[in-house]
Structure 1
Amino acid sequence: MSIFLWGLQGVLAAVVGMSGLGKLAQPKDKLAETYTWMQDVSKGTVWFIGLVEVVGAIGLIAPAATGIAPVLTPIAAAGLAIFSLLAAILHIRRKELRGVAIVAILFVVAAVIAWGRFGPYGW
């Protein structure tokens, strides 16, 4: 199960990290072509979301891989699960079913990682 959780951590970190880097590196106007919800938020909010995603992705891998404060890994997973719930609320309010489906999948993956690493398969 630990190998399975490592796999989930890697996939979630890659997906969330790349999304966050994109939000940090590209101008909001260019991103708004892909993400219609960005029309309703400020540039600072987009940057903050990107930063949270990048930090969350790092938190999924680095603490456990280095053995330095590995409890931060399930905390990062729980934080990303909460972040996904907040994203789902945004997409529900905007009636974007595709967005809700995507963040629901991310929520489930993050919740499984948090459960496994806080519980029976922790460090």
Structure 2
Amino acid sequence: MNIAYWIVAGLLALFYFYAGTMKVIRSPDQLRPMMAWVDRMPLPVVRALGTVEILGATGLILPPLTGIAPWLASAAAIGFLLLQLGAVAVHLTGDDRRITLNLGLLTTAAATIWLATGL
């Protein structure tokens, strides 16, 4: 189970670290092709969301790796699950109805929560 956690959590952390970094450093014009919802959110909200994603990605990896407060990995995965529930709601209330990626990330976060309980 430990190897499975590192594979799943590692992939999830890589995705969120990349996506969060893009939200923090790119302009709305650069984000628009990837994220149709960016025009409906104020830029500080997009930046804050990116920061939360970077911190969550760190929370999936660092605590189990160091052995310090490993329960934070479960908390980070729960945060990502809640984040994706909100993302699905944002997509469904707007013109962009593409939620396949969000459902995949939601499922991956749920698997990470389950795997983190075995750490």
TM-score bucket (shorter structure): over 0.9
Task: State the distance in 1 between where 2:74 and 2:34 align.
Answer: 30
Q: Aligned-pair RMSD on alpha carbons?
A: 1.1
| 1:59 equivalent in alignment to 2:56 | no
Task: State the distance in 1 between where 2:21 and 2:11 align.
Answer: 15
State the one-letter code of the partner of 1:6: W
How much has 1:95 moved relative to structure 2? 4.4
2:33 partner SS: helix
Task: State the distance in 1 between where 2:30 and 2:108 align.
Answer: 29
1:46 corresponds in structure 2 to: 46
State the one-letter code of the partner of 1:107: L
Structure 1: any 5+ residue segments left out of the alignment?
A: none
Equivalent residues of 2:9, 2:112 under 8 A apart: yes
Task: State the distance in 2 between where 1:95 and 1:29 align.
Answer: 18
Equivalent residues of 2:36, 2:96 under 8 A apart: no
Equivalent residues of 2:21, 2:54 under 8 A apart: yes
1:90 corresponds in structure 2 to: 90
Q: How does 1:73-112 map to 2 (within 5 A)?
A: 73-98=73-98, 100-112=99-111
Task: State the distance in 2 between where 1:65 and 1:9 align.
Answer: 12
Aligned length: 119
Structure 2: any 5+ residue segments left out of the alignment?
A: none
Task: State the distance in 2 between where 1:79 and 1:19 align.
Answer: 15
Task: State the distance in 1 between where 2:52 and 2:38 align.
Answer: 16
2:70 partner SS: coil
**Percent sequence identity over matched residues?**
32
2:72 corresponds in structure 1 to: 72
